[in-house]
Chain A
Amino acid sequence: DAGVIQSPRHEVTEMGQEVTLRCKPISGHDYLFWYRQTMMRGLELLIYFNNNVPIDDSGMPEDRFSAKMPNASFSTLKIQPSEPRDSAVYFCASSFLSGAGGGEQFFGPGTRLTVL
């Protein structure tokens, strides 16, 4: 398997523009997680899905952020409108185990987002 795939790898946009980040999880994995990583706040969980259903979105910072998982092989994280403070590396991760086994997550390479 190719692992978790994320696109784009880098995104530079201007404040106010819509940004869409994409993720393809590992085939057979039931869980999908979206994280944001910054120097100040570290790695933060934004939202996670189980069997394509959002389970916990309490980490989504504002209504400007939304995430969807229309099928088992694709998820998107959208920011509209984007702001400079959204600049970060966004990671997608997937896992196939629940409970404590769910801590064994497989991360994608990340999308580095810069909002000017």
Chain B
Amino acid sequence: EVQVVESGGGLVQPGRSLRLSCTTSGFTFGAESMSWFRQAPGKGLEWVGFIASKAYGGTTHYAASVEGRFTISRDDSKSIAYLQMDSLKTEDTAVYYCSRDSYGHSPIDSFDFWGQGTMVTVSS
């Protein structure tokens, strides 16, 4: 059974940092690219960034709104993807989700399992 669990959220002051984790099981994590998404309170869904599998170079790409402040990494030995968030702004307040991406394979078995999300509140 595929499981995805996001964690690490909390209350943080503007300008500070936070690291989120996306812990997975039930599939071959190392073979999958992973994306992070977010949803601000009362708003729609927004893609945050992506990390390719090692087979595709482990490259990363980010939304313009977080480029230069957020960094995605992965630990294939633990089946975990990370989202390092630096220089946080109040507009980064959102629930953050992760899911396996379609990069490098069919849209089937992609973006299929999402966790409950982890809430990040940026406020002084």
Partners in one complex: no
Chain A residues within CB distance 8 Å of chain B: none
Chain B residues within CB distance 8 Å of chain A: none
